[in-house]
Amino acid sequence: MALLNVRYYSTVLGLSTTATVILPQAASGQIGMSGAAAGGPLPTLYLLHGLTDDDSIWQRRTSIERYVADLPLAVVMPTVDRGWYTDQADGYRYFTHIADELPEIMGAFFPLSQRREDTFAAGLSMGGYGAFKLALRRPDRFGAAASLSGSLDVGAEPAELGDEWRRTFSTVERSRANGDDLIDLVRSADPSTTPRLWAWCGTEDFLLDHNRRFRDAAADAGVGLEYHESPGTHEWGAWDREIQRVLAWLPLGRRR
């Protein structure tokens, strides 16, 4: 496989930014590793970081490179700083960048499939929120999305994040009107067109209630969600384990 650090200009953000990209490579003779044939167009997983990290964190804290080595899958890991994958009330248009601009830019650089059934999103914590928002707001573009310990109820965050929350979402009413409230989005989703959704949260995680509220809202709306809980907290050992389950769950074998 190939690991690339991509520095590129975003017109939407008005600045240069970075993404870490993993591409499959057929290889032999590398100790302890094999590889999938690259080919193309490649199914693509947009793998999103949490609140305090950046595009390098999945590669630094998990064995994501090793886990995807035998898969015909590209992994794109972008940076959004503390942007909540949101077009911020006072800040940058991170959602528009990740949802619309980034797939076009990466597709121009690499042989990535643009088909819905080949395009996936996953993330942890803030990134789980971002992955589900991509799926619910761009069901025509994303075929599946997964959340690990996701911050899935931003309406519950104002008191905890204070000024940062207000700069990003402004008010609970604005977050709903702008399509930033996942509970509201899933309640109004069309179950027949919603991408496949998968979620996990640890039973000792401080975001467990967020995940259960989203689970219940999806069930009430008839939206399919494969939901899991098991012992665990908000930490990388759990996410390293669960991302392997996500990769096994992705519909890579369903390509036409």
At 160, is the pLDDT very low, low, confident or very high (cuts 50, 70, 90)?
low
From 236, 210, 89, 73, select the one nearest 144 (Cα to Cα). 73
8-59: pLDDT as tens digits: 999 999 999 999 999 998 877 676 677 766 667 999 999 999 999 999 999 9
What is the separation of C-alpha 6 from the centre of its chain, rounded to a whole number of angstroms? 18
Query: What SS3 state is found at 42?
Result: strand
Query: What SS3 state is found at 109?
Result: helix
Residue 44 is given by DSSP the state E
Sheet holding 44-48, edge to edge: 2-10, 15-23, 74-78, 44-48, 119-124, 144-148, 196-202, 226-230
Q: What residues contact 146, with CB distance under 8 A and at least 6 apart?
A: 120, 121, 122, 123, 128, 131, 197, 198, 199, 200, 246, 249, 250
Is 254's pLDDT higher than 50? no
**Burial class (CB within 10 angstroms; exposed 0-12, middle 13-18, buried 19+) of 156:** middle
Ramachandran bin of 34, using left for φ above 0, alpha for ψ from -120 to 50, beta for the remaining angles: beta
Per-residue pLDDT, 256: 35
Mean per-residue pLDDT over the chain, rounded: 94
Structural domains of the chain, ranges and CATH numbers in brackets: 2-254 (3.40.50.1820)
Run of H or E residues at 94: helix 94-96
Q: Taking residues 102-124, what's their average pLDDT? A: 97
**pLDDT above 70 coverage of the chain, percent:** 93
Run of H or E residues at 96: helix 94-96
